[in-house]
Structure 1
Amino acid sequence: MTNSGFLDEVEGERTQPGWWPFGVLAIARWRLWGLPDRFLVGYVLAVDLTALTGAAVAFHALPVPARDWRPFWILLACCLVYVEVSRSIERSRADFLDGPHIDLNSVWMFAAALLLHPGLAAVVIAVSFAYRWLRVRHRPVYRQTFSAAASMVSAFLANLVPFAPQEFAIFGAALLYGLSNTALITFAVHRSRPGTTLREAMFSPADYALEASTIALGVLLAWALVDWPPVLVLIMGVTLVLHRSTLVQQFRDQAGADGKTGLLNASKWTEVATAELARGRRRGLPASVLMLDLDHFKVVNDRHGHLTGDQVLLAVAAALRAEVRSEDVLGRFGGEEFVILLPGTNRFDAVTIAERIRHRVGQLLVSVPGGEIGVTVSIGVAAQPRDGQALDTLLAAADRALYVAKEAGRDRVRTMP
């Protein structure tokens, strides 16, 4: 798992190719020092120092068994070779995913945690992240360092579980590795995005399934290195296919995503909402549609510029995500207009949800030069069966209700009488 892109950008740290990112001067130029959340700065440093201290203590207190050197060099070579063969895939993924995402290096790193002396495992992890930084993408160094440190700490914790590659206890080590790494990264994401909930900072179920798959492949790799080394080639091939499949899925998701907010775009929302309504009809469940429009959004763009307007759209999108369920279908129709399908929700509950959304959006504050600005939203509500059954009929009813809310003074929730 990597936190690539998870912390706010500030000026000062060089990340261009050719600038070696180590040494006291390099650390002094980290963007980390410019982050406004001093607790987050301390947290990142604490994880980094824990990893460094753990590796140093391991090398000092525990002799390195001679049998560990052979798998160490094999796993190190696997990391380097895999970065090269998957470089084009990972660069494409990084271009599409500007935030935190799951990488597939846990295959090699968890195998190292299972098989090697803790200090050697830390070296494999550090080399893996450093080489990816050099060959794939130059992210701010403190982020890459934190990701590596989180993986090292997770590996140290997994190493505390007594196991052998053929024993059932290995799954306990795998669970501890995955949970601890997820917790370390998720907390950092949460702290770096003020106003977001822990739920919003978490990855999707598909991402966690991908992480579990890479850890499972790490278990198989550790077993193979002990009993059947030729299987290593097959595991690398399977990992590469899995890696490429994530890129294909990203392309599909990106085609249906709004470029400014990451929500579904109008065409994709219509496709998903139509399918969801059909599913609800088969089950005899109602559904409601909310049509939302930001009040006086043009004034925000005219006074503060379109970049500030984009920040407002992002903040509103985050607020909407926080107020809806995972099964609700959330999209941006364009401009300042959003739309939400609420499956299994009657008219009364839809109005309650709309009021909650209106209240949350009204509390938003977006930083601008010289202060902060807020925004309000008007919402129209339509529900089955009162306002129709088909999606286009519900949208038309919600749009008319939205017009009524605007005419009533804005910052209102309305339904059709």
Structure 2
Amino acid sequence: MTAARFTVTDRDGTAVFRPRAWPLFAQPSAVVAFVVTVVVVDVVLFLAGVLTTTLRMEEMLTGAALIASGAVCVEAMRRLGMPQGLVRDLLGAWWIPTLLLLPPVYSMIIPVPLYLMLQYRIKRTVVFRRVFSAAAVALAGFAASSVFHASVAGRIVLLDGISGAAARSVLLTGDAVLAAVLCAALFTVLNTLLVAGAIRLSSRGGPRRKMIWDFESLMLDGVEVCVGLVVTILCGLSLFLLFIVLPPVLLLQRSLLFQQLQTAARTDPKTGLLNAATWEQEAEAELARSIASGRPMAVLIVDIDHFKRVNDTHGHLFGDQVLVGVATTLTHQLRQYDVVGRFGGEEFVILLPGADMAEACRIAERLRTRVGRMALPVGEIAVAVTVSIGVALLRVHGRDLLELMTAADLALYRAKDSGRNRICLPVAPTAGVPAQARQSEVAEEQHSGEPG
């Protein structure tokens, strides 16, 4: 990357153009190579498409109408608000008609104005991520459009586009509809693979917080394909029918974003775990059930050891990767009905319904061991972290959530004062807990074999 070495300065010598300082070049070299490759391939294909495509007024009007419809959807997103993290939308309702109704080169043009609107009207984010998202949509659209036009080329004379009467005669036939469905699905798969590849490369080998494809994502992809095909057929019949299909698309997109906003309000944006307020709500509900049924329950507070040192040594971006890695490891080692959240900073809190003292200590030890085995690469070295865990048990260390949290926090301080990377139980008497239970607690702690 020779260009990354250049610096342009103004008259007083102040640097104004420093590509090496761009956020892209702070990413792993594999990410830089992947992003640059996708963008370069897009540029080459766009130039080839411009040189080989005959521009037609009807096609340009169709493209402008699809851009205008997409712009209305983007503006509606701005009014509703945008959640943090990976956001799902229904802009595919406008990508799919583009790749099916217009020559492939239009698939590389239409994402540009809509992603510019996303950047400047919705939320400003790191530029290279926005550019890559647009490039991924463009590349996937160009590939799917080329396949579709090649598959129906024998039915029409227009090898570089389908529009007007051709759309009415071709898109309503059985074989062409099947080809359209398959190519729309191909577009979705290619776009998802490109995004997933970038996420995987940028994870630096660490655990991924969330899979790109789960059951809900597959359902959303299917809905997007269906909506895109409906828009395609109506748009092929008449551009004026876009006025009929636009309101339902807006309503679907609003419902989708509203659901994501509700989820975002319950979760921590960095780790994807429950935030402190939501965790407390769910913990209170679970505590009430445990008290009513007489079942045991335990609370764990997990703290990353020397986390400030990690941030100071390797930077806050790496610290965020550590948080994500620990959160993922905790989630994978817990039972499906356990409640885990991020309590703030480097602390995590876990509720273990039905867990007695022995079970809570076994789970805590498994979490401590698994996190200790986790290693995140920084350049040519791997950084390992450890955790300290405080354990508190219902009816032994407290009878409500506040008492349990206080006891677990005291146990966590014991673990840290005893040298970290260990599990501890509270030894101070807890108000309202019988002496016999406290004696049982000490015996259980000794039986657990944990130092501290």
Is the TM value for this pair above 0.5?
A: yes
1:315 and 2:322 correspond = yes
Residues 84, 408 of structure 1: alpha-carbon distance in 2 compared, 3 angstrom cutoff? closer
1:134 shift after superposition: 4.5
Does residue 54 of structure 2 align to residue 79 of structure 1?
no
Matched ranges for 1:236-251 at <5 A = 236-251=246-261
Please report how far the alpha carbon of residue 268 of structure 1 lies from its aligned counterpart in structure 2 after TM superposition: 0.8
Give 1:127's aligned residue. 113
CA distance in 1, matches of 2:195, 2:233: 28
Match of 2:95 among 109, 131, 135: 109
* Structure 1 contact 300–309 (Cα < 8 Å) conserved: no
Q: Which has the higher contact order (CA 8 A, sep 6+)?
A: 1
In 2 relative to 1, CA 393–129 (structure 1 residues): closer, same or farther, beyond 3 Å?
Answer: same
Instruction: Calculate the aligned-residue CA RMSD, in Å.
Output: 4.7
> Given residue 316 of structure 1, which amino acid in structure 2 is its aligned partner?
L
Corresponding position: 1:152 with 2:159? no
CA distance in structure 2 between the partners assigned to 1:401 and 1:300 by the alignment: 22
Please show how residues 174-213 of structure 1 align to structure 2 within 5 Å. 174-198=184-208, 200=210, 202=212, 206=216, 209-213=219-223
Say whether residues 1:226 and 2:236 are aligned partners. yes
Distance between the aligned counterparts of 2:56 and 2:353, measured in 1? Answer: 59
Inter-partner Cα distance in structure 1 for 2:422 and 2:117: 54
Counterpart for residue 49 of structure 2: 58
TM-aligned CA distance change 1:352 to 1:150, over 3 Å:
farther
Structure 2 unaligned runs (5+)?
Answer: 8-15, 153-169, 426-440, 445-452
1:251-303 Cα shifts (integer Å, max 9, x gaps): 43444344775532333113234556889999xx9976533134466x759x9
Q: Is residue 293 from structure 1 mapped to residue 303 from structure 2 by the alignment?
A: yes
Q: CA deviation at 1:338?
A: 1.5
| Alpha-carbon spacing, 1:309–1:50, altered in 2? closer, same or farther (3 Å) | closer
**Kindly tell me: are residues 27 and 127 of structure 1, through their superposed partners in 2, closer, same or farther at Cα, counting changes over 3 Å?**
farther
| Unaligned 5+ runs, structure 1 | 1-9, 14-24
Q: Secondary structure at the match of 2:204?
A: coil
The alignment covers a number of residue pairs equal to: 386
Indicate the residue corresponding to 1:337 in structure 2: 347
- The range that moved more, 286-295 or 266-275, is 286-295
1:319–1:360: 8 Å Cα contact kept in structure 2?
no
Aligned equivalents of 1:280, 1:54: Cα separation in 2: 62
Residue 331 of structure 2 aligns with which residue?
324
Tell me: CA distance 1:260–1:56, structure 2 relative to 1, closer, same or farther (3 Å): closer
Give the deviation of 1:217 after TM superposition. 1.9
* Residue number in structure 2 paired with 1:22: none
Question: Are the aligned partners of 1:190 and 1:201 in contact in 2 as well (CA < 8 Å)?
Answer: no
Shift of 1:118: 0.4
CA shift, 1:146, in A, is: 1.4
State the partner residue of 1:6: none
Q: Give 3-state SS (helix, strand or coil) of 1:216's partner.
A: helix
**Displacement of 1:216 after TM fit?**
2.8
Specify whether residues 270 and 105 from structure 1 end up closer, same or farther in structure 2 by C-alpha distance, changes over 3 A only.
same
- Contact kept in structure 2, 1:405 and 1:414, CA below 8 Å: yes
Amino acid at match of 1:51: D
TM superposition shift of 1:156: 2.5
In structure 1, C-alpha distance between the alignment counterparts of 2:69 and 2:97, rounded to whole Å: 11
Q: Is the 8 A contact 1:273 1:341 kept in 2?
A: yes
Offset, 1:209? 4.5
* 8 Å contact kept, 1:58–1:118: yes
Cα separation, partners in 2 of 1:157 and 1:278, compared to 1, 3 Å:
farther
Question: For residues 22-47 of structure 1, what are the alpha-carbon distances to aligned partners after superposition, in whole Å with 9 as ceiling and x for unaligned?
Answer: xxx98968826623522211111111
Q: Work out whether 1:48 is the aligned partner of 2:39.
A: yes
Percent same amino acid among aligned pairs? 31
CA deviations over 1:139-162 (Å, ceiling 9, x no partner) = 444322211110012112322144
Quote the residue 1:378 is aligned against.
388
SS at match of 2:110: helix
State the Cα distance separating 1:188 from its structure 2 match: 0.9
Whether contact under 8 Å (1:165, 1:219) holds in the other structure is no
Between 1:188-197 and 1:247-256, the stretch displaced more is: 247-256
Contact 2:209/2:328 (CA < 8 Å) preserved in 1? no
Report deviation, 1:184: 0.6
User: Rg: which structure is higher?
Assistant: 2
Does the CA-based 8 Å contact 1:86-1:240 persist in structure 2?
Answer: no
